[in-house]
Amino acid sequence: MKSTGVTRRIDELGRIVLPKELRTTLGIYALYFLFAPEPSL
Domain 1-41 has CATH 2.10.260: yes
Kindly give the confidence (pLDDT) of every residue in the chain, 41 residues in length, as a single tens digit, with 9 standing for 90 and above: 677 676 777 878 877 778 888 888 988 887 777 677 776 55
Q: What is this structure's pTM?
A: 0.43
Q: What pLDDT shows up at residue 1?
A: 65
Least Cα distance to 16 among 39, 41, 2, 28 occurs for 28
Q: What pLDDT shows up at residue 15?
A: 78
Taking the chain, what is the end-to-end CA distance rounded to the nearest angstrom?
33
DSSP assignment string, 16-35: ----HHHHHHHT--S-----
Domain boundaries, the chain: 1-41
Q: What is the DSSP letter of 14?
A: S
